[in-house]
Amino acid sequence: MAIINSYVLGECKNSVGNVTLYKNKKQIARGKSMFVKNPKTLAQRQQRLKMTTLVRLSKTWMAALMKGYPGSNLSEGQCKFVQKNMPAITVDEEMETTLNIEQFSCSAGPIAVPKVTASGSSASNSITFQVEQKSLIPMYNEGTDTLYAVAYEKALEELEIVELGKRGDDNWSEFTVPAHWDKDNLVLLAFALDKTGKRASDTTHVELTLE
């Protein structure tokens, strides 16, 4: 057990990997038993590397987290990002990390996950996002929800957010890929935010079709 003072993890509760965080006046971190006593075992070093990698990446993803986790402050948004994405990162025996960005989450909530498609041309820097019509369950799928796409360049670790308009509209949006980005390293995600800005959807991966 340890008392910690971390700007990023200061608001965290519950578990992050094999570490359980809770507050008793001060922030307390308690490690779960992994049937080993040596704190430098491979499994523990791998878990620690996962956490530090996600904490670093959370700074790049902050613009998306502040929308995707409404009501959360900066520290809480970073903490949720780390907790959600631990399964999307692997560390091998050589301590090399593999990030499955397509599985990343930058939002969470009860409203319906949007249906979005993306298409473009290999010869152009323009990508067209098409929003599919809402389902027949208005309680969780309001036409007034605002949809967002997240464009992430994996190699450069750069991110942009694209507002796609309202869920109920039959609309499309254009996004110009920055000239220094490589489309082969581009990952697209999407989520929705309700009209009050207080409820979000979970995150979905958007497949990019290139002609």
* pLDDT at res. 4: 46
The pLDDT tens digits of the residues spanning 43-76 come to 999 999 999 999 999 999 999 999 999 999 989 9
How far apart CA 63 and CA 152 sit, in angstroms, is 12
pLDDT at 34: 42
pLDDT of residue 19: 56
Average pLDDT, the chain: 85
The residue-averaged pLDDT of 86-103 equals 96
The amino acid that residue 17 corresponds to is G
Rg of the chain taking only CA atoms, in angstroms: 19
Pairing of strands 116-120, 208-210: parallel
158-192 core/surface letters (b: 16 or more CB in 10 A; e: else): ebbbbebbbbeeeeebebebeeebeeeebbbbbbb
Place of tokens 């491979």: 42
Report which of residues 141 and 75 the model is more confident about.
75
Give the helix ranges, DSSP H, for 61-183: 62-68, 74-85
| Predicted TM-score of the model (pTM) | 0.79
State residue 134's pLDDT score.
56
In the chain, the DSSP E strands lie at 2-3, 14-16, 19-24, 26-31, 89-91, 97-99, 116-120, 126-131, 146-153, 158-166, 172-176, 186-193, 204-206, 208-210
